[in-house]
Structure 1
Amino acid sequence: MDLSKLDFPALVALKADVEGEIKRREVEEKSKAKKQILELARSFGLSVEDVLSSKAATVRKPVEAKYRHPDDSNLTWTGRGRKPAWVQTWIDNGKALEALAI
């Protein structure tokens, strides 16, 4: 098809037809894909819920603090990861970490 031979209104109409066909085929392709996915899941004995659920998607409970600053109760640490500066200062001053335990 030589588009250079079409006048402007014909090009606009062609564009609308193409966009409509793309939308129709998109719905059709998604429907086919959905059927294939469901068939594959069923062949492995999986339900839709099994496929959609993921351990990575589960929400983890925040870790509770194990240590608290004696003078500022807003400063806490879970005991995981790098020590906060206030904990390191406490230890550098010769004090025991256990003294900060909650």
Structure 2
Amino acid sequence: MNRLNLQKLSDKELSELMQNIDAELRRRNLETERKNAPKESDVSNGIIYRNPNDPWQVWRPGRGRRPNWVNEWLDSGRTLDELEDRETK
């Protein structure tokens, strides 16, 4: 590793060095977050919600926004637990 004598650097050089260090740290943090992010398959834990009025309509959490039929179900005072398809587990 190269040793840098910070005392010999000008204010401008120190400022550029700080900017480069900051950019590199942000890049590394983003890379670490991407590596540690849950995989798409991990997000839903295999849970599938099925529309009781149309069994062909299903929703897997973590895969796109919540469908209208789920929102309507919840707005009517019902719960997601009632929509869970327990046969697919």
Give the TM-score normalised by the residue count of structure 2.
0.41
Q: Relative contact order: is structure 1 or structure 2 higher (C-alpha 8 Å, sep ≥ 6)?
A: 2
* TM-score scaled by length of structure 1: 0.36
More helix per residue: 1
Structure number with bigger Rg:
1
